[in-house]
């Protein structure tokens, strides 16, 4: 049975792992663009991820890969119109939840009315501040992510004084903004934004120090799935070319395992089944450790 909303929000205290499956209904996402544009394909993909162990299906109609162009709210809604209702019904039947990955209040409102339960905003309420009040009014959990700049330019020489401290301070400020808009702190989730305006050293520093980014009980979401930084690490280790996104599963699993030990309790991935399997084995091994070892 999938985790409840309450389970998700207290996961940092309980230690329960929450799995968020990625569903991109876009023509240009970096690893699966165009694969799930048809409603039947999108719903089938969601059903398979839930069956594999996803607690949340995160659906987005705008790519935010580096260099991507913005998609206005009307076009996002058009992409979602025939997908969201059956998707939410599928999730509800299985006890799972749908989150809407958008920075636009109009899109979030459309999704919440269709049955989505969570708002996932990569701009943390900066693109469209009305999204904060919308989440407050709906009582929806809100994911606030760090991004340096915007997708079009975010990878153009990203610079920080201290990436962990800078991201921590940003997230604290956005949590305060959400609270001021009426979203209780206990209904917020934070995400360091791996790959969103970060170099490889920035990403590594963040993934190694996740527990420093927000005080408990605020859950920390980690989304390293198939990201460029994984390809860069593999290329350096092997002396070859970076593998394409679809061939970064091993690196994704390693990043998620490390991230969980560093403080993340929500992981956002494309490949739900292998992640659930890896986490189950890792947990059983950890549980078997002798207290005096």
Q: What element of type H or E holds 22?
A: strand 18-24
Q: Which of 79, 168, 227, 228 is catalytic?
A: 227
Q: Please, what is the Cα angle at 187 between 184 and 190, to 5 degrees?
A: 110
Q: What order of strands is seen across the sheet that includes strand 97-101?
A: 188-191, 142-145, 118-121, 97-101, 56-60, 18-24, 266-269, 221-222
CB 66 within 8 A of CB 72: no
The residues near 224 (Cβ < 8 Å, ≥ 6 apart) are 194, 195, 203, 207, 230, 252, 255, 256, 259
Q: How many angstroms separate the first and last alpha carbons of the chain? A: 34
The beta-carbon contacts of 26-29 under 8 Å, at least 24 apart in sequence, are 26/60, 26/61, 26/62, 26/63, 26/71, 26/79, 28/63, 28/65, 28/68, 29/60, 29/63, 29/65
Q: Hey, what's the torsion of the CAs at 255, 261, 264, 265, to 10 degrees? A: 110
Q: Please, what is the Cα angle at 194 between 38 and 92, to 5 degrees?
A: 40
Q: What's 193's DSSP letter? A: -
Rounded CA-CA distance 170/269 in Å is: 24
**227 classed as catalytic:** yes
**268 classed as catalytic:** yes
- Residues involved in catalysis: 227, 268
């Amino acid at each position: 049975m999938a985790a409840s909303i309450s389970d998700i929000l207290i996961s940092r205290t309980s230690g329960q792992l929450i799995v968020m499956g990625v569903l991109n209904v876009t023509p240009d996402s970096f690893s699966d663009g165009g694969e799930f544009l048809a409603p039947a394909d999108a719903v089938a993909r969601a059903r398979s991820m839930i069956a594999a162990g996803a607690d949340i299906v995160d659906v987005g109609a705008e790519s935010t890969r580096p260099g991507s162009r913005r998609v206005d709210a009307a076009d996002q809604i058009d992409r979602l119109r025939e997908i969201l209702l059956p998707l939410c019904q599928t999730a509800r039947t299985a006890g799972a939840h749908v989150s809407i990955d958008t920075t636009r209040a109009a899109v979030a409102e459309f999704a919440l009315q269709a049955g989505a339960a969570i708002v996932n905003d990569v701009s943390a309420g900066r693109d469209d501040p009305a999204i904060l009040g919308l989440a407050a009014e709906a009582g929806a959990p809100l994911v606030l992510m760090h991004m340096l700049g915007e997708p079009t330019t975010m990878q153009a020489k990203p610079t920080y004084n201290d990436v962990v401290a800078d991201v921590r301070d940003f997230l604290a400020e956005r949590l305060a903004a959400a609270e001021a808009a009426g979203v209780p702190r206990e209904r917020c989730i934070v995400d360091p934004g791996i790959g969103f305006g970060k170099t490889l050293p920035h990403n590594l520093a963040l993934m190694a120090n996740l527990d420093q980014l927000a005080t408990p009980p605020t859950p920390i979401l980690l989304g390293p799935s198939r990201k460029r930084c994984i390809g860069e690490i593999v290329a350096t280790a092997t002396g070859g070319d970076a593998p394409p996104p679809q061939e970064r599963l091993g690196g994704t699993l390693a990043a998620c395992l490390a991230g969980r030990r560093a403080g993340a309790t929500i992981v956002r991935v494309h490949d739900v089944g292998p992640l659930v399997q890896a986490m189950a084995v890792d947990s059983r091994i950890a549980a078997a450790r002798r207290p005096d070892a």
